[in-house]
Chains A and B, each alone.
Chain A
């Protein structure tokens, strides 16, 4: 899923300076699961904004609504007849949701309340770890199901580098060396020959905005 982290309150507060009616829109999918921007987080943020603005004698009228998915038109439609009651929108969705919201309501300023951190797995409640940078040219088949683009600090295609030390990456003892893991997994599977060969330079496919059309949907 996509994981995100709530922005520091001060940053959100600054973005909302001068606005008197603010709608806070949560997202019920990824950011809800990772505890950053679901219904509960929307309520918490609104309570915080309300309290601080009251204290500063600058009260703000707040609305809240959490849609199933902000990255889907279908779910944004329910906002159409509500947004004009507000002079700003806060989105607690990932960067994709924020943009889709801003695109649908171009006449109203939309502000992000979270920092989107990546495509991650759920390690345990509240703990997530990035696994994919959506490079558009997956090499997991070669690397034992461990992504060097994401998990190697240098994104090397032919690792491990000379900094790999006792299973850790050169950036710190807490960070496992992805290439050491790849080596160990492939070794166990008797597939080391795969990485004995030189992997050629990547042909980066993520350097322009990508549009994806699944086969059969070309004309829609």
Chain B
């Protein structure tokens, strides 16, 4: 079931991708407190520079303001949110009710994730829910939207309208299985994909070409993940401590090579070069920029990467 104009959700992101533009999305982490101003300040840097903004859901298993609430604040600021939902913190009842609420509030994009294990966060003793997994979450939302029924099969009065996203990590193992997992997510109902941050471009291209061979790049829209490195320490940390991250030594070396005070600039330079390269790549429909706690740099990166002005579609 799609809307009259052939759109599934009518989100800006959906329209941009449908029109064949190269999409550019950003990310914003809600605060560990109630200050809405924090979100408004971060949003100001993103406004006009990105097509949609991912709002993380208790990222790295740390308690934060709820994703849907932060999405609503973003909507009030005139930006389009991409509501992230993890399977770690809620069961199918809570998920479906939040999905209805999100759609009622005007949220039109959702990204389905498993979620980092609770062990990494500030409540490592919490019970992980994982009632359903990210694959099943994608399928559940598609069912709610397209069939107008809950997971149980009961009818929904006024089903949600959502553009369904999923994550893909080309750098996780086993590598050969990653495209099949992508295929599975597409079959389940993923309209778009956002990838893990890319540092190992060679491996990413390998994955992309496998996906392309299987015809998957035609069946969904892949947004490539980019995160600028702020420091050598961050690069080292991501290299050894962040699950599923692949930071080749040459990236660290390049950052080290530029000397004190210039590392952040080099990090941005690398990110811009990556975006330039991704723009030309067959099968890449856009870039997802995750400038973690670096939102104020987004206008500069967007400008330098040639991503402005962002297209507007009615």
Contacts and interface: CB of A to CB of B under 8 A. Distances in A.
B134 A161 contact: yes
Given A156-B114, A162-B114, A167 B173 contact: yes
Interface string B226-253: 0000000000000000011000000000
Interface residues of B, number: 35
A13 interface: no
A150 interface: no
Interface-central residue, A159, A161, A199, by most chain B CB under 10 Å: A161
Given A155-B130, A201-B132, A162 B184 contact: no
Contacts, number: 92
Interface string A184-208: 1000000010001111111010000
B174 interface: yes
A171 B136 CA distance: 22
Interface residues of A, number: 30
B200 interface: no
Contact of B133 (A154, A183, A196): A154
A154 B172 contact: no
B178 to A, nearest CB: 9
B133 A200 contact: no
B11 to A, nearest CB: 24
B151 interface: yes
B135 interface: yes
A40 interface: no
B45 to A, nearest CB: 27
Interface string A158-193: 111111111100110000010010011000000010
Given A162-B243, A196-B183, 6 more contacts: A154-B128, A155-B128, A180-B174, A198-B139, A198-B184, A201-B136
Interface of A: 153-167, 170-171, 177, 180, 183-184, 192, 196-202, 204
24 contacts: A154-B87, A154-B114, A154-B128, A155-B128, A156-B130, A160-B172, A162-B169, A162-B243, A164-B173, A165-B172, A165-B244, A166-B173, A170-B117, A170-B244, A180-B174, A184-B174, A192-B180, A197-B184, A198-B188, A200-B139, A201-B92, A201-B136, A201-B140, A202-B132
